[in-house]
Amino acid sequence: MQLGWIGLGQMGLPMARNAIKAGHTLTVYNRTRSRAEELAHEGARVASQPSEAAQNDVVVTMLADDAATEEVVFGSHGVLAALQRGGAHVCMSTISVALAQRMTQAHREAGQIYISAPVFGRPEAAAARKLYVVPAGPQDVCARLQPLFDAVGQRTYYMGEEPAAANVVKLSGNFLIASMIESLAEAFALVRKYGVNPQAYLEMITTSLFNAPVYKTYGGLIVEDKYEPVGFKMALGLKDVRLALAAAEAAAVPMPVASLVRDRMLTGIALGRQDADWASVARIAAENAGL
Amino acid sequence: MQLGWIGLGQMGLPMARNAIKAGHTLTVYNRTRSRAEELAHEGARVASQPSEAAQNDVVVTMLADDAATEEVVFGSHGVLAALQRGGAHVCMSTISVALAQRMTQAHREAGQIYISAPVFGRPEAAAARKLYVVPAGPQDVCARLQPLFDAVGQRTYYMGEEPAAANVVKLSGNFLIASMIESLAEAFALVRKYGVNPQAYLEMITTSLFNAPVYKTYGGLIVEDKYEPVGFKMALGLKDVRLALAAAEAAAVPMPVASLVRDRMLTGIALGRQDADWASVARIAAENAGL
Amino acid sequence: MQLGWIGLGQMGLPMARNAIKAGHTLTVYNRTRSRAEELAHEGARVASQPSEAAQNDVVVTMLADDAATEEVVFGSHGVLAALQRGGAHVCMSTISVALAQRMTQAHREAGQIYISAPVFGRPEAAAARKLYVVPAGPQDVCARLQPLFDAVGQRTYYMGEEPAAANVVKLSGNFLIASMIESLAEAFALVRKYGVNPQAYLEMITTSLFNAPVYKTYGGLIVEDKYEPVGFKMALGLKDVRLALAAAEAAAVPMPVASLVRDRMLTGIALGRQDADWASVARIAAENAGL
Amino acid sequence: MQLGWIGLGQMGLPMARNAIKAGHTLTVYNRTRSRAEELAHEGARVASQPSEAAQNDVVVTMLADDAATEEVVFGSHGVLAALQRGGAHVCMSTISVALAQRMTQAHREAGQIYISAPVFGRPEAAAARKLYVVPAGPQDVCARLQPLFDAVGQRTYYMGEEPAAANVVKLSGNFLIASMIESLAEAFALVRKYGVNPQAYLEMITTSLFNAPVYKTYGGLIVEDKYEPVGFKMALGLKDVRLALAAAEAAAVPMPVASLVRDRMLTGIALGRQDADWASVARIAAENAGL
């Protein structure tokens, strides 16, 4: 496929690289141009503006947050103005449901197509083409985009015609991780107070009931009480929980565990730990137990 | 081994049967004698009193709760009075930390040994010898008991010299399940409100991040909104969360997610659902979202 | 004083009327002009645009929310463009801290002065000149505005040089009321379940420990389980708690009771009670207790 | 009246003294006899055993907690065995609902009458005869006891025929205070982060909406961040919230604010502050906000 690709950060760069490897032709744009140049050596064409990347049938955006996405889409030299009628904008970033809804409408009014296709996985998973891709939007368009999704991920989960549904799913997934961290944090605080060896405890739960990678990964961080190097920053974790709560509020869904996790992360940030891994909420649970 | 076995309920009966199959010699006691007679056909000797079962080197108790255990241990014709010096009482029930500590001391004062060895798994797992056994107590005694644990479970996790530690681990495990149910409940309420297909959502989370049996089991119940036949009653779930909170309070460990789950279950009970599966807290989350 | 006055709703109209009665000269603007005409009979001049009302030394805005305030201030024919250098904009509405900060900066850049002066009290209190006024901003300006505050309220509480501080105080006050309602709701659910007469209970708490008007008012509503006519709508209550939480998040302050109250109100809205009095969260507490 | 009086602690001593001053004839018992001797100078007869004090028509118990009350009532030389048929036991302590129910039944079976009559107020209020008395039990008996209640308190609130109802009311009152402290704590953390003067804030809320003594008392402690000398210890506060939650659980009443307050107090205790005033939960709220 001929693809525009906007955003070459920790996630975007390895994903774009995999798209190239899979045989797609990319025109890439990144605010910091040097990262785009890297891909030039691998066959990408480097664009000077988002609009230049958008002059393709399909343009992918993979950016840090709502603000960056809004600027690239609605700003001058932006995607919305440059994309041709019938062209598709595939937004793979973790953004708010409200922004997804706004882009859905704006692209529709411009005779274009908007697809949300957020991904699950850390940078290592992106590099290894092990992401999980969660697209939503017109089904035929998503079907045509399958080669793109296959190029960056190990499996695709289509979530229906309404693009924002995919963003809700992504945010709910991050909420599930955050709530799991908090629950583990409380469980570890409890068993440690009774003298249980944390490593033995982790071994037990992750080889019996909770035999899932996330339990092993985050449980391991909690056992070692080691939150650097950072996989996912507390400040970003809070952002995603906040976006989940905003989506929930818009639909009148009370989520008390999400509220509780948000308060924990706010405590972490108030204590100056915004740059630690979000698993460090476990340290707050331990401190509150006098550990 | 020569074993006394007290308690032949939904869990105790298949466990005792597996112990017999593994070659151990059992003297069994059950309040409702007919269940003990069943095992007589398989080679067990039937006792008329707990004290009779306790006249072995090792006596196992597998009873419903603290009250039943207290009666069998401290009551007249009870285990404590009948067990010989040096004999071991292995309590495999889910009981309070406080009772485990009380039995530890009482048996010690009587020159006996007390072991906590609670198990994870439902009756089907008990029948299939797939339980996870979590013993704690004097290490040499637990080592000698390994053939017993092997007879009823698929794996043993030793949790240290202090018997009550095993009970804390068991209660924390049930707390982790309860908190997972609540988190799933909130996530499903959210995505359903945005029109996501619940089955597709479940497929996504349980084949990517949360690829663990408990997520599949409980997620499946939530998707079908079907809480009968009952795997684990709300009233029992509340009991275990209460015991976890009591253990936490005794050690000054705040567990806000446990508190929240307790309040949910209380709501379920106030609404008359004490006999529904504890996964039905998901219905409360859905109702609170107007679903 | 010569005053512009924008906003003649349930609160704004009686406040403006009291300002006229106190001898101030008002140029009034209201989107629905008929309400402005009412005041014409009492001596006010009617403006056709916000900008016309802003052509005074001081212009007061008393509007429903952020959106209405933003339009009147930043819109075409708005306050910001029309107010003279050195003029003061006194915003008495309950708005977000973020908007107060934005107006502070915008007016400063335009050589104007911005004052936040939100009020506590319902429409009846506004009519009776019984409001509590909470101004913040440059102290000398607030001192000069004292005759205005005296015209509408019974007492003024100056909260410092930073205008947004007054908005935080206002939001925190509404949070305190909301949390009191929730606590009362839980207490009533508890005592009712034990057969206590709710009226006798209310009499007890409001003549002993909690001898304050808000406890009597809201306790009375809860005892009668009567949430109409509506004093303050659930939807508006949720808005204010949300604004308090947003201010708290911006300053990294976890407020778990506020989170909990927010979730309760979301439940109320999901159940279709957005137009009931916010005291009806007590009905949710009662329902959750099976009452 | 001829009264037996058991318990001369911080509350019991001034209450008993006021009973003597009001003309009642007391036989007093206290575990530490020296405190009883104090009252001998004021006309009381000193008993050597609870049973001796119970040899009156009416015996009052005013003890620290459930354990002390149980010992005095059910122990050897206890009230239950010594009180004559038709005699009344008036328990004024803050005890569990479960114990009140147990005593109700035990006294009934012994042909005696049990009355719960807990009080609101600190030791100073007890000395000044300013307590609020909350009796429940057979109405005619409570009516006959009015001279006793008048001797120790400023007002009596009868709560019905079921004694335990009075205990529920007492516990719910302490819950309301605890939740008020937590709400104030969060409000203060918020406004302080925005530079509001805490003293000015307290003046504002306690002269407008929350013009009640408890807000002034506890708000003042929070403003000064001074939790010594101690009015009511954190550990005792936690005990009462725990008893409220236990009563609520027995009646299937979820009380999420009570759960939250309990977790805060547990944190305080984990941090070694069990002997500080319970208002020091405000310090936790401040610390969690980075203050």
ipTM (interface pTM) = 0.96
Give residue-wise pLDDT tens across range B223-275.
999 988 888 899 999 999 999 999 999 999 999 999 999 999 999 999 999 99
C229 preceded by a cis bond (ω within 30 of 0): yes
Nearest CA in chain A to D285: A267
Q: C230 with C280: CB under 8 angstroms? A: no
Nearest CA in chain D to C211: D212
So what's the pLDDT on residue D117? 98
Interacting residues of A40 by C-beta distance below 8 A, sequence separation 6+: A46
Among B270, B288, B290, the residue with its CB nearest the CB of C290 is: B270
How far, in Å, CA of D66 to CA of C36, rounded? 66
Mutate one of C194, C273, C274, C288 to test the B interface: name it (highest B CB count within 10 A). C288
Nearest CA in chain D to C179: D183
How far, in Å, CA of A291 to CA of C116, rounded? 44
Among C242, C259, C266, the residue with its CB nearest the CB of A262 is: C259
Give residue-wise pLDDT tens across range C79-112.
999 999 999 999 999 999 999 999 999 999 999 9
* CATH 1.10.1040.10 domain extents, chain A: 167-288
The long-range contacts involving A205-210, CB below 8 angstroms and separated by at least 24 positions, are: A205/B173, A205/B176, A207/B155, A208/B120, A208/B132, A208/B155, A208/B157, A209/B120, A209/B132, A209/B173, A209/B176, A209/B177, A209/B212, A209/B213, A209/B214, A210/B176, A210/B212, A210/B214
Question: B258 to chain D, minimum CA–CA distance in Å?
Answer: 10
Asked if A254 lies within 8 A of C242 by C-beta distance, the reply is no
pLDDT, mean of residues B141-147: 98
Q: How many residues does chain B have?
A: 291
Among D253, D260, D267, the residue with its CB nearest the CB of B266 is: D253
The catalytic site residues of D sit at 170
So what's the pLDDT on residue A264? 97
* D167-288 belongs to CATH 1.10.1040.10: yes
pLDDT, mean of residues C242-252: 97
Kindly list the partner chains of chain D, i.e. chains with 3 or more CB atom pairs below 8 Å. Answer: A, B, C
User: For this structure, is C239 an active site residue?
Assistant: no
Q: B237 with B278: CB under 8 angstroms? A: yes
B243: left (phi over 0), alpha (psi -120 to 50) or beta: alpha
Q: D183 with C210: CB under 8 angstroms? A: no
The SS3 assignment for D27 reads strand
Q: Is the pLDDT of residue D126 over 90?
A: yes
So what's the pLDDT on residue B238? 96
The SS3 assignment for D196 reads coil
So what's the pLDDT on residue C246? 97
Nearest CA in chain D to C218: D209
What is the identity of the amino acid at C235? A
Asked if A263 lies within 8 A of C259 by C-beta distance, the reply is yes
Percent of chain B having pLDDT more than 70?
100
Task: Give alpha helix (H) positions in chain A.
Answer: 12-21, 33-40, 50-53, 66-74, 79-82, 97-109, 123-127, 139-144, 146-152, 163-193, 198-207, 213-224, 234-250, 256-270, 281-288
Asked if A159 lies within 8 A of B196 by C-beta distance, the reply is yes
Q: How many residues does chain C have?
A: 291
**Structure-token pair, residue A190:** 């409890």
**For each successive 10 residues of chain A (291 residues), what is the average pLDDT?**
96 97 97 94 95 96 97 96 97 98 98 98 94 98 98 97 98 98 98 97 95 93 90 93 98 98 97 94 97 94
pLDDT, mean of residues D113-142: 96
Q: Is the pLDDT of residue D51 over 90?
A: yes
Asked if A266 lies within 8 A of C256 by C-beta distance, the reply is no
Q: Is the pLDDT of residue D231 over 90?
A: no
Q: First and final CA of chain A: distance in angstroms?
A: 55
So what's the pLDDT on residue D228? 83
How far, in Å, CA of B77 to CA of B83, rounded? 11
Residue keyed to tokens 């399958």: A146
Q: Which of B21, B170, B226, B233 is catalytic?
A: B170
CATH code for the part of the protein at D2-161: 3.40.50.720
User: Residue A125: phi, psi to the nearest 5?
Assistant: -65, -35
Among C270, C272, C288, the residue with its CB nearest the CB of B270 is: C288
Interacting residues of C266 by C-beta distance below 8 A, sequence separation 6+: A248, A249, A252, A253, A254, B288, C238
Give residue-wise pLDDT tens across range D246-277.
999 999 999 999 999 999 999 999 999 999 99
CB atoms within 10 A of CB C75: 14
So what's the pLDDT on residue C228? 83
B76: left (phi over 0), alpha (psi -120 to 50) or beta: beta
Kindly list the partner chains of chain A, i.e. chains with 3 or more CB atom pairs below 8 Å. Answer: B, C, D
Give residue-wise pLDDT tens across range D143-184.
999 999 999 999 999 999 999 999 999 999 999 999 999 999
Among C255, C256, C270, the residue with its CB nearest the CB of A252 is: C270
How far, in Å, CA of A29 to CA of A44, rounded? 10
Q: Is the pLDDT of residue B122 over 90?
A: no
Asked if C169 lies within 8 A of D204 by C-beta distance, the reply is yes
Question: B228 to chain A, minimum CA–CA distance in Å?
Answer: 22
Question: B178 to chain A, minimum CA–CA distance in Å?
Answer: 10
Percent of chain C having pLDDT more than 70?
100
Chain C residue numbers touching A254 (CB-CB < 8 A): 263-264, 266-267, 270
* CATH 3.40.50.720 domain extents, chain C: 2-161
Give residue-wise pLDDT tens across range C117-129.
999 998 999 999 9
pLDDT, mean of residues B96-108: 98
pLDDT, mean of residues C2-30: 97
Give residue-wise pLDDT tens across range B29-81.
999 999 999 999 999 999 999 999 999 999 999 999 999 999 999 999 999 99
Mutate one of A174, A204, A218, A243 to test the B interface: name it (highest B CB count within 10 A). A204
DSSP A152-166: HEEEE----S-HHHH
Mutate one of D176, D253, D264 to test the C interface: name it (highest C CB count within 10 A). D253
Nearest CA in chain C to D211: C212
